[in-house]
Structure 1
Amino acid sequence: MGHADTLLAMGGAFLAAAFLARLGRRIGLPTIPLFMLAGILLGPHTPGLVLVDDPHQLEMLSALGLVLLLFYLGLEFHLDDVRNGGRRLVAAGGIYLVLNIGAGLGFGFALGWGVREALVLAGVLGISSSAIVTKILIDLGRIGRPETRLILGVIVVEDLFLAMYLAVLQPVIGGAENLTDAALQAAKAFAFLLLLAAVARYGTRLVGRLIAVRDNELLVISFLGAAVLVAGVSEALGVADAIGAFMVGLIFAGTPSAPRIRRLVHPLRDAFAAVFFFAFGLAIDPADLASVAAPLAVAVALTLVMNVAAGLIAARLYGYGPRPAADIATTLLARGEFALILAAMAAGAGLDGRLAPFIAGYVLVLAVLGPVMAGRSDRLAAALVAVRNLVRRERRAVRDPGEADTATPEPTKPSRS
């Protein structure tokens, strides 16, 4: 009977996500929040039909969806972009981390929920959702845009940071006093990432030979097995499983089989990503959100401001104008899987009970707002242009107050004064 329940949950999740996604596309809504809405409506926390009463039934499928999303992200990212980006790329990622994590830490202390809670909130507000960002870029067809390389670079910097952050934060929020153990765990995670990066840089020729098969079936089994295996090893070593999957994608991106892998992974990525977002919606209880509505609204507004500021600064580093800056700011707005990991860690450590509903509400709002704003980033770009022009006029007025009055009209045009 348990097996039948799992199959019913799986089939229902796919069909519900597909139905709402088709409905949403008719009215111009992105698929991500609709997948989540399907999970909320058909989960155990809302009245009516309960398709899945235990979110753990989809836990493995959800994890596979995250692994495939990040694996695809790795396929689209190239080490040459990181190497060519160099200091600018690190600076752009650092700007995002400093502004958003700094704002999150200050916000956490201002709430007064506790020091450990503030450290958790710093990570929740500070790190974008790699899964949602990847899905936004795919859905909006922006993978090939120049600023997308910068966006992916920021995600990589954030992901590398969060690997270290998780390793250090776990013993801290758990009340551990042994900093040596925390340092050893962080060093172990960092060494593993360096090993994968070395393979991506120097071992792609060998990897390419190992997976060089003509049969598509064998190729799918090969890259899927590698992504899942390395993700599992990453998790065992204290590195987020999604980062391990990303690094495998980065390795395979340098092989001759990369174009075939991208084509073959598409249907798998889309199907299991839908289950990932559906399963996330299952965990949200709308009734708990009322108690944290005020801090939730402040946190969302703070994140919006910090993301726009960081997007403008990062775009300026690369010489981009208002439109790419708006794309960068809105695409990186969403928060998701990393925040949920932190929520689970906080619950296991017995931290303030308000953290769980706050994180759930915060992620839900930004997971909906992020794709919507990214799809309408032209409006933010227009606003940024208007602000820029206004600032320029004000500066000219301060520099030369009489310029407008003394300006001589063009000979061919009559004066309007």
Structure 2
Amino acid sequence: MIHLPHLITDLTLILVSAGVTLLIFKKLKQPVVLGYLITGLLIGPNFTLFPTVTEIDSIKIWAEIGVIFLLFSLGLEFSFKKLVKVGGSASITAIVEVVSMLAIGYITGKAMGWNLMDSIFLGGILSISSTTIIIRAFEELGVKNRKFASLVFGVLIVEDLVAILLLVLLSTLAVSQHFAGDKMLISVLKLIFFLAIWFLGGIFLIPTVLKKAKKLMNDEMLLVISLALCLLMVSLATVVGFSPALGAFVMGAILAETTSAEKIEHLVKPVKDLFGAIFFVSVGMLIDPKVLIQYGGPVLVITVVTIVGKTLSSGLGALLSGQPLKHSLQTGMSLAQIGEFSFIIATLGLSLKVTSDFLYPIAVAVSAITTFTTPYLIKLAEPTYNFVYRLLPEKAQLALTRYSSGTQTIAETNNWKEFFKTYLSTIVTNSIVIIGILFTVKYLTPKLNESFINNNSYGELAIIVIAFALMSPFLWALSAKKIQGTAYKQLWVDTKYNRGPLITLEILRIMLSIVFIGALVAQFYSINFAIISAIIISVVSFIIFSTRLQSFYGKLESRFLTNLNAREISAASKRMDELMPWDSHLAYFTVNPQSLAVGKTLVELSLRENFGVNVAVIERGTRKIKIPSKEEYIYPYDRIAVVGTDEQLKSFEQYISSEPTNDIESNGGEVTLHKITVNGNSPLLNKTIKSSGIREKAMALIVGIERRNERILNPESSFRFEKGDILWVAGEKKLIQAIVS
């Protein structure tokens, strides 16, 4: 008789049960994750009414694979560039929420008499909201395009990264069993370093490889290669001492920057759904109904703490970041649940054997309840705001309105701030790569000694030469690359007192590069010899190889930036290709403020009749108007995409008085709304609008002024500025800064 392995029968039971439950929950319009949890409970070892899974250990391995692919998919949706683009409001909201819930969870655990580790892990479990549940709820309620929804999505992006940090910190804490500040700091620095080195290396190599192999790549190959890269990073993260989940997340975030990201996400989705289902079912298997009955009180308490605590902490964070009260409440009530990351944190405590058995099923039960409540909380957010706002005194309403109006601000120009941003970016980026090479040398040298070198001086010298060759482009950039931008030139010209600090900072760059060379040599020779060698090598290399290193580094930097922006450039090109008719081509023009076209509608300009061209796109600040209507106006500094032949575009260029460009990623200014506060040192103080030169010099328009709780819309040119006035100005940021600073 043929014997069927228990693993296959168990998987059959899991998938059949999950499929049936899935149909039921779809019919009832309930979250799928909740159905998986209930399936796990019914076929788990703690519930004997239905057939039961027999090989729990094997299923746990499948569940771990599910966690890997779940985090890989989250990484594909995450993208490091999305994190950079997340506004200050989302970052502040996420940080306030996470810190508050860590503290609230810890206090709640201690108040119920739990031990230290259970309380700490409870705080971690409650601190991260569920991306899956929120997105599904937003889709079902049709609020994905509401203003507060964009803030919520930004918070979830920041929370994803914070969750990865929490996994590392909780793992470190679980091993040490006490708060060790130095170990925590080392873990955080180690995480930041490896995230940076993996990101820099991954962006440089992986998109290039995928691009080179594009002609050979079919769907099957792309899927296999993507999963192979995921598991490779999982293995690498484990070797370095991090969790497999971190490696999967990082590789997903790297692939999210490639032009194949959407295709990879589409191909991986069935794999993620399959193993994700097994993961969530396995979570349900660990639920013990007896434990839930025994700890029914704590489940209820923690559920209330989660809903109230996350609503208040997220709402407070959004309010502090300058969001209106309405959006703050909507954000807080949307984030009032826990989900997939909470399961992973609870699983971590269980696998490390540092948390009690009851914590895991409690976390799952709270997640299940808050999954049910989330859609209702989102619906109740607006009525709750109306109720709260009516209760507030008029002064409080006015204060909140004035505070939230400060979300769009403009700081006075600070050349030192701009300079330091570029300066530190150059130092940090190149230092990370150099330190990565030094660590690699330190790690590989003992292994090479055992196999090949046997402490031979020539072998050690060969290692130094190879390592220095790899480091040299980045050492050149660290010590000799020019700090680009107008801030440096302005600081140098403004006053002679700036020159001393600038020269000192340049010397520090050179000294740091010498230190890195010395650190390389010091791994094999004495400190004194390393210092002398580092100075000699630096001088000789700079004299002989400076030009070559500059050229080579330029190519490296260009390749990295091309890979980093490839997805956006490709998407923009596709959009533009859709607009190309026959033999015409598309060119971009920036509207000169003095152009006769300014202030006129497209129908008034009659561009098709006069020049034979069509306006395909108008870019105005962050707004992109695709195929604009004939009633659309042309404003100064609008960037317009025009379709026509060479002759037609040349004629149009003379009319519009601007230089055409085909560069999609232009650095042209954007017309946006800015807030300026007139203080005691402001050059605008006691000047009229007309004498300030804002309109003439900055090509900007003062659209409103706030003075002592009074709002003046479209003020007269004779209006005189006073201390404390708040100006709302429409125009290009850099031009405005030049006037107000």
* TM-score for the superposition, normalised by structure 1: 0.81
Closer, same or farther: CA 135–304 of 1 in aligned 2, 3 Å: closer
1:269 offset after TM fit, Å? 1.8
Partner residue in 2 for 1:163: 167
1:160 offset after TM fit, Å? 3.5
1:221 offset after TM fit, Å? 0.3
Closer, same or farther: CA 290–373 of 1 in aligned 2, 3 Å: closer
Partner residue in 2 for 1:102: 103
- For 2:308, what is the secondary structure of its paired residue? helix
| 1:319-369 deviation line (CA, Å, top 9, x unaligned) | 3774685366434611432332343156x24x6xxx3213312x2223223
RMSD: 3.2
Letter in 1 for 2:338: A
1:380 offset after TM fit, Å? 2.7
1:276 offset after TM fit, Å? 0.9
- For 2:323, what is the secondary structure of its paired residue? coil
| 1:270-328 deviation line (CA, Å, top 9, x unaligned) | 22211111011111111112332222221221111111113323444373774685366
Partner residue in 1 for 2:695: none
- For 1:376, what is the secondary structure of its paired residue? helix
Q: Is the 8 A contact 1:37 1:281 kept in 2?
A: yes
| 1:155-190 deviation line (CA, Å, top 9, x unaligned) | 2242243133124312233x7x98766665554444
| 1:181-216 deviation line (CA, Å, top 9, x unaligned) | 666555444432232333466556435436634310
Cα distance in structure 1, aligned partners of 2:79 and 2:191: 22
Q: Is the 8 A contact 1:32 1:367 kept in 2?
A: no
Cα distance in structure 2, aligned partners of 1:136 and 1:207: 36
Cα distance in structure 1, aligned partners of 2:253 and 2:338: 23
Closer, same or farther: CA 276–345 of 1 in aligned 2, 3 Å: closer
Cα distance in structure 1, aligned partners of 2:380 and 2:109: 28
Letter in 2 for 1:390: R
Q: Is the 8 A contact 1:101 1:126 kept in 2?
A: yes
Q: Is the 8 A contact 2:90 2:152 kept in 1?
A: no
1:264 offset after TM fit, Å? 1.1
Closer, same or farther: CA 259–271 of 1 in aligned 2, 3 Å: same
Which sits farther off after the overlay, 184-193 or 37-46? 184-193
Closer, same or farther: CA 3–138 of 1 in aligned 2, 3 Å: farther
Letter in 2 for 1:192: F
| 1:372-404 deviation line (CA, Å, top 9, x unaligned) | 233334323134323333234x447999xxxxx
Is 1:253–2:256 an aligned residue pair? yes
Partner residue in 1 for 2:724: none
Letter in 2 for 1:107: T
Matches within 5 A, 1:395-406: 395=394
Q: Is the 8 A contact 1:45 1:285 kept in 2?
A: yes
Q: Is the 8 A contact 2:168 2:243 kept in 1?
A: no
Letter in 1 for 2:167: A
Matches within 5 A, 1:144-155: 146-155=150-159
Is 1:9–2:3 an aligned residue pair? no
Closer, same or farther: CA 10–320 of 1 in aligned 2, 3 Å: farther
1:100 offset after TM fit, Å? 0.3
Matches within 5 A, 1:47-126: 47-85=48-86, 87-126=88-127
Closer, same or farther: CA 196–322 of 1 in aligned 2, 3 Å: farther
| 1:51-102 deviation line (CA, Å, top 9, x unaligned) | 3134322123212222222222222223232212254443222112111001
Partner residue in 2 for 1:262: 265
- For 2:258, what is the secondary structure of its paired residue? coil
Partner residue in 1 for 2:281: 278
Letter in 2 for 1:339: I
Cα distance in structure 2, aligned partners of 1:397 and 1:196: 48
Q: Is the 8 A contact 1:77 1:149 kept in 2?
A: no
Is 1:364–2:364 an aligned residue pair? yes
Is 1:44–2:76 an aligned residue pair? no
Letter in 2 for 1:50: P
Letter in 2 for 1:61: W
Cα distance in structure 1, aligned partners of 2:308 and 2:84: 30
Partner residue in 2 for 1:193: 195
Q: Is the 8 A contact 1:296 1:358 kept in 2?
A: no
- For 2:53, what is the secondary structure of its paired residue? coil
Letter in 2 for 1:119: I
1:256 offset after TM fit, Å? 1.2
1:20 offset after TM fit, Å? 0.5
Q: Is the 8 A contact 1:74 1:248 kept in 2?
A: yes
Letter in 2 for 1:100: M
Q: Is the 8 A contact 1:331 1:371 kept in 2?
A: no
1:266 offset after TM fit, Å? 1.9
1:139 offset after TM fit, Å? 7.4
Letter in 2 for 1:309: L
1:230 offset after TM fit, Å? 1.5
Cα distance in structure 2, aligned partners of 1:223 and 1:139: 30
Closer, same or farther: CA 398–77 of 1 in aligned 2, 3 Å: closer
- For 2:358, what is the secondary structure of its paired residue? helix
1:236 offset after TM fit, Å? 4.0
Which runs of 5 or more structure 1 residues have no equivalent in the other structure? 400-417
Is 1:231–2:234 an aligned residue pair? yes
Cα distance in structure 2, aligned partners of 1:157 and 1:8: 38
Cα distance in structure 2, aligned partners of 1:398 and 1:124: 35
Q: Is the 8 A contact 2:307 2:370 kept in 1?
A: no
Cα distance in structure 1, aligned partners of 2:76 and 2:119: 35
Letter in 1 for 2:172: V
Partner residue in 1 for 2:297: 294
Is 1:219–2:222 an aligned residue pair? yes
Structure 1 or 2: larger strand share? 2
- For 2:96, what is the secondary structure of its paired residue? helix
Letter in 1 for 2:33: I
Letter in 2 for 1:387: F
- For 2:295, what is the secondary structure of its paired residue? helix
Partner residue in 2 for 1:311: 314
Q: Is the 8 A contact 1:133 1:334 kept in 2?
A: no
Q: Is the 8 A contact 1:75 1:262 kept in 2?
A: yes
From 130, 133, 157, the equivalent of 2:131 is 133
Partner residue in 1 for 2:349: 343
Letter in 2 for 1:191: F
Letter in 2 for 1:60: I
User: Percent same amino acid among aligned pairs?
Assistant: 20
Counting matched residue pairs gives: 387
- Which is greater in Rg? 2
- For 2:103, what is the secondary structure of its paired residue? helix
Which sits farther off after the overlay, 317-326 or 254-263? 317-326
